[in-house]
Amino acid sequence: MKRTGVLISATAALLFGFAGLAQAADKVSANDFAEEASAKGIAEIETSKLALEKGSHAEVKKFAQTMIDDHTRANDELKALAKQKNLEVSTDAELMSKAKAMILQVRDGENFDKAYANNQVVAHEQAIELYQKAAAADDTEVSAWAKKTLPKLEHHLQMAKELQSKTRQ
């Protein structure tokens, strides 16, 4: 079980470790936001796809499918906004390949479910922090999109906390 937690934590650090200087300020640049938010979205989708395969609880699989659907939609919207504003979005296949390789080492079943739920809470807390900073960005279109998306992320965090509680039992 400890190994599962360590692997998920290492994966989270790899996937969500883009913070750098952008996270130190109260605001984030539009370009940094687009790149980091798209990377987080890709990570959500990929880890959730794995949860569909490895998860044992029906609630985990249902949550994972919701994450895939919602984050795919959000990433598509973000890509369209980024294209319109000439911003970069993350498409780093090598990063995802490394992350998937690490996640695949995690055991199946209940240990995976607990680790996935814990990871989702942390990932959504970090995403909310990023989107709050983007909501204060100077770019009004990026700020508006971040503000529009924040309630969905906050709902995801609430769902993730409920899932975390269920997988502890």
Q: Residue 125: which CATH number?
A: 1.20.1260.10
What does the DSSP assignment read for 51-69? HHHH--SHHHHHHHHHHHH
Residue by residue, pLDDT tens for the chain (169 residues) are 455 454 455 455 545 554 443 444 578 999 999 989 998 888 888 889 989 998 999 999 999 999 999 999 999 999 999 999 999 888 766 566 656 655 655 556 668 898 899 989 999 999 999 999 999 999 999 999 999 999 999 999 999 999 999 998 7
**pLDDT attached to residue 90:** 81
Whether 135 and 150 have beta carbons less than 8 Å apart is answered as yes
Q: Which two tokens stand for residue 56?
A: 């044992």
**pLDDT attached to residue 101:** 56
DSSP code for 18: -
Q: Which two tokens stand for residue 22?
A: 């952008």
On whether the pTM is more than 0.85, the answer is: no
Whether 15 and 44 have beta carbons less than 8 Å apart is answered as no
Compute the Cα dihedral for 56, 61, 63, 64 and give only its sign.
Answer: positive
Which residue range is the domain that position 138 belongs to?
A: 2-168
Q: Give Cβ neighbours of residue 45 (< 8 Å, ≥ 6 apart).
A: 67, 68, 71, 72, 75
Whether 8 and 118 have beta carbons less than 8 Å apart is answered as yes
CA 78 to each of CA 68, 160, 162: distance values in angstroms, whole numbers, following the listed order: 15, 23, 27
Q: Enumerate the H helices of 86-139 as residue ranges.
A: 93-104, 110-135
Rounded Cα distance between 48 and 87, Å, is 26
**pLDDT attached to residue 6:** 45
CA 161 to each of CA 79, 98, 104, 120, 165: distance values in angstroms, whole numbers, following the listed order: 28, 27, 23, 8, 6
| Domain count within the chain | 1
